[in-house]
Chains A and B, each alone.
Chain A
Amino acid sequence: MDFPRIPIGDWVATGIDWLTINADFFFDFLSTIMKFLVEGLSDVLIAVPWPVMVLVLAALGWVLRSVRFAALSLVGFLLIVGMNQWDNAMLTLSMVLIATLLAVIVAIPLGIAAAQSDSVSAAVKPILDFMQTMPAFVYLIPAVTFFSIGVVPGLFSTIIFALPPGVRMTELGIRGVAEETVEAGQAFGAKRSEILFGIQLPLAVPTIMAGINQVIMLALSMAVIAGIVGADGLGKEVVSSISTLNLAKGVEAGLSVVFLAIFLDRFTGALGDKKARGKSSLLALARKARSSEPVTAA
C-alpha cells in the first residue's frame, strides 16, 4: 500500500526561493546591517593589542566575580594566545555578542508580550519549540540562499537558534512575580505600564539574565557550527581541521571554544545572580566599604 508522497520539503523550498527572489532588497538590507555590526566589532576587538584585551577581560571578571575567576580567565586567555587562536576567538566572540544583542532585542519584547497575554503565549510557544528542536544545521540552508555564504548566514541562523530561551525566560520571569505584588501595584492605582516597568520587569531581572546567559551559550555553540557556511572564527578552524583530519588544529580550536564558553558563562551568570558574586569581587568589596561607613557613623 502506497501512502502518497507529501512534498513538504519542496513546498518550503519553493517558498524560500520565492522569498529569495521577491524579498531580495530586504535580505540585502539585513545583510548589510549584520555584516557591518559583526565586522565592526571584530575589527575593534582584533585592533586592540591582545595583552590589553586579556587584561581587560580578566579585570572585568574580577569586578563581577572574584580574584580566582580573574586568574583562571587570565590563564585561559593566555593559552588561547599561545595556541595561536586569539584572532579567531575574537571573531567568534564578536559574532556571539552581536547575535546575542539582536536575539535579546527581539526576545525580551516578545517575552513581555507573551507574559501579558495568554493568547500571545499560546501562539509563540509552538514556534519556539520548533525553533529549538529543528536540527541547527537545517537553518544554514535557507540562510545561505538568502545571504550567500560568509558571516551573515551564520549570524542569522545563530540568532534563530539562540532566541527561544530569551523569550521563554522573560515570560517565565514576569509571570513568576508574586501575584500579590502585582496586585499591590493595581490596588494603588498603577497603570499597566507602571506595573510592568516598576514591578514586574525589575523583579524578573534575575530570570531574564539567566535567559540571556542561555542565549549566549547557544549562540556560541551555533557560531561554531556556522563555520560550515564560511563564517570566520574558531568554527571555521574546527571545520577545516575535520576536512583535513588535522587533530592538533582541531584540539586547539576546540579548547579555545571551551575557554571562551566558560568565561562567558561564568561572567554573564554573575551579571544576573548576585549570589554568584564572590566575596572578593570588586563590586562586593566596594559595597562593603560603602555600607561600613554609615554604620560606624551611626
Chain B
Amino acid sequence: MAAINAEGLYKVFGKRPKRGVAELERGKTREDLQKQGLTAAVIDASFTVDPGEIFVVMGLSGSGKSTLIRMINGLFEPTAGTVTIADQLITDVSPEKLRAVRREKISMVFQHFALLPHRTVGENAAYGLQIQGLNKADREKAANKALDEVGLGGWGGHLPGQLSGGMQQRVGLARALAAGTDIMLMDEAFSALDPLIRRGMQDQLIELQQRLEKTILFITHDLNEAMRLGDRIAMMRDGRIEQIGTAEQILNEPKNNYVASFIQDVDRTRVLTAANVMEPAQGVIGAGSGPQTAHKVMREGQHNWILVQNRDRTPAGILWEPDVAEAVRTGRKDLPWSPVHEMPTVAQDTSLADLFAVSAQHLNPIVVLDENGRTVGVIPRVTLLAAAANNGQGADMPESWGSPDSPLNDGESMADSATPDVPHVMEGAK
C-alpha cells in the first residue's frame, strides 16, 4: 500500500484550464500555453511514496514543486489526474471529506513557519488537535510531548515571536507531529533558516523519521539537502518530473542533460558512500599462506599489493610487493607485513568525505566491511580520487573533432593519423 500516489497530475492556471491540459497532451509546450494566457504549473506528474519513506521533490523556483505539494493535500485542486492518500482518493471529493483527510492523514510544515503569533507555542503545537476537536487537557499533553520530541520542552508558555527562526520551525514541526498523522508534507521547511541551523534540523528530521516512521514528502530547491534527506528524489523542471531515483542513481545515471548539469555542483563526497565506490580486491590469499604463495599471486595478477583474509572472510592485512619479494629472497616462512600494514577499515555507509580523512592517514587501501566485519570490497587511493572527480557522465569526447561524417575526411587521411599500430610497436619492443 502506497502512502501517497499521484497519477498524471496537471495544474494549469488561467481561464478554462482543462483546455490547456488537452493541448499539453497533444504535445504543445508550456510556452505555447503561455501565449494563450494559461500557466502550466505542473505537467503530467506521477509518483508513489511508500510508507516510512522520505521522498524529496527538488526543483528551482517556478518548477512547480510548491503547486505539486499543494495538490497532494488538496489545497489546490488538480486540473487533471488523481491523488490517493493511503488508498483513499482525495481528488473530486466533498470539501468535508477533504478536511477529514487533512485532519487525520496529512499534516504540513511551512517555509515561513506559519505559526499563529497571538497564541503560545503550546497552543500552536496543539492547533491540529484543536481542529480535530480534542479536549484541552489531552491536546496539551500531546503538544507537550511533541515539543519534547523536537527539543523544545518547557517553551510551551512562550509566544512564537520570542523564539529564534530555528526554534519557530521546530514548533511548526511539533505542530505537525502532534497532529498524529502518518504523512507529513514539508514545503521548503528549512529554506528560511541559517545554513548551520538547517544542517541541525536536517539531522533532527532524519532522526525523528527513523524513530517515528512518518512518511515525509519534502520540497526543496537545495540539491544537497535533497541528497542528504531523500530516500528517493524527484527532479522537477518547468512543471515536469525529469527523473525519480535514489541520490546515487541521480548522481551516477542522470537521465538527461538538465539533471546532469544540476548535479555538477553537488558535493559528491557527501552523497556517495564507500559502498558506491568500492571495488572487489584483485588479489586475495588466505591468512595461512606463506610468502611464496603471495609472490605467485602477485606475479600472475600483476598486483603490487594483495589482501590477506582469514577463513571467516574478515581481513587480516595487506601485503606489498617489495616486502613479499624480500621475504622470498631471505626465505622467511611468515607473511611479511609491511610497516604501513595498519589496515584501515570502514563501514559500507561511510561517506566519501570521511574516507578522505582515513585515506590521508594510511598508505594502504581502505577495506570496506559489512555489519559482521566481513570484507565486501576495497578502495585504493586512486579509486577514491577518481570517484570524487567523476562527473557521472564518463569522459566526454569532443565529437566534432575528426568526425567520420566530415566531408574533408577521406579514407587516406584517416589512415595517416590513426594509431592502430601503436600496440604492435610496443609488443615488438618487448
Contact = CB atoms under 8 A, between A and B. Distances in A.
Nearest to A298: B154
A146 B75 CA distance: 50
B117 A187 contact: no
Contact of B114 (A180, A189, A194, A202): A180
Contacts of B21: none
A233 to B, nearest CB: 38
Given A189-B100, A189-B132, A194-B131, A184 B108 contact: yes
B374 interface: no
Contacts of B108: 183-184, 187-188
Main SS at interface, chain A: helix
Interface in B115-153: 115-118, 127-128, 131-132
B112 A178 contact: yes
A186 B116 CA distance: 13
Interface residues of A, number: 17
Interface in A224-266: none
B99 interface: yes
A189 B103 contact: yes
Contacts of B131: 185, 188-190, 194
Nearest to B116: A199
A65 to B, nearest CB: 22
Given A188-B131, A190-B131, A183 B118 contact: no
B118 A187 contact: no
B114 A178 contact: yes
A188 B128 contact: yes
Contact of A181 (B73, B99, B116): B116
A189 B110 contact: no
A188 B183 CA distance: 12
Most-contacted residue by chain B among A180, A184, A187, A198 (CB, 10 A): A187
Nearest to A199: B116
Main SS at interface, chain B: mixed
B99 A189 contact: yes
Interface in A94-142: none
B412 to A, nearest CB: 71
A191 B111 contact: no
A198 B108 CA distance: 18
A203 interface: yes
A180 B112 contact: yes
A202 B116 CA distance: 9
Contacts of A194: 131
B116 A187 contact: no
Given A194-B131, A202-B118, A187 B112 contact: no
Contacts of A180: 110-112, 114
B99 A187 contact: no
Contact of A186 (B102, B115, B175, B185): B102
B346 interface: no
Contacts of B132: 189
Given A178-B112, A183-B110, A189 B102 contact: yes
Contacts of B73: 187
Contacts of A198: 116
B179 interface: yes
Interface in B57-116: 70, 73, 75, 99-104, 106-108, 110-112, 114-116
Interface string A186-224: 111111001000110011000000000000000000000
Contact of A203 (B70, B100, B103, B118): B118
Interface in A147-193: 178, 180-181, 183-191
Contacts of B127: 184, 188
B40 to A, nearest CB: 21
Nearest to B118: A202
B110 A184 contact: yes
Contacts of A183: 70, 75, 108, 110, 114
A153 B103 CA distance: 52
A109 to B, nearest CB: 21
A184 to B, nearest CB: 4
Contacts of B111: 180
Nearest to B112: A180
Nearest to B108: A187
A54 B70 CA distance: 57
Contacts of B179: 188
A198 B131 CA distance: 10
B114 A184 contact: yes
A186 B102 CA distance: 8
B181 to A, nearest CB: 9
Most-contacted residue by chain A among B103, B111, B131, B132 (CB, 10 A): B131
A237 to B, nearest CB: 44
B107 A188 contact: yes
A181 B102 CA distance: 16
A131 to B, nearest CB: 32
Contacts of B104: 189
Nearest to B107: A188
Contacts of B101: 189
Given A184-B114, A187-B106, A203-B116, 17 more contacts: A180-B112, A183-B114, A184-B108, A184-B116, A185-B131, A186-B102, A187-B102, A187-B185, A188-B103, A188-B131, A188-B175, A189-B99, A189-B100, A189-B104, A190-B131, A194-B131, A199-B116
What 9 A-B pairs have minimum CB-CB distances, sorted nearest first?
A189-B103, A189-B102, A184-B114, A187-B108, A180-B114, A189-B99, A188-B128, A181-B114, A190-B131
Interface of B: 70, 73, 75, 99-104, 106-108, 110-112, 114-118, 127-128, 131-132, 175, 179, 185
29 contacts: A178-B114, A180-B110, A180-B111, A180-B114, A181-B114, A181-B115, A181-B116, A183-B75, A183-B108, A183-B110, A184-B115, A186-B102, A187-B73, A187-B185, A188-B102, A188-B103, A188-B127, A188-B131, A188-B179, A189-B100, A189-B103, A189-B128, A189-B131, A189-B132, A190-B99, A194-B131, A198-B116, A199-B116, A202-B116
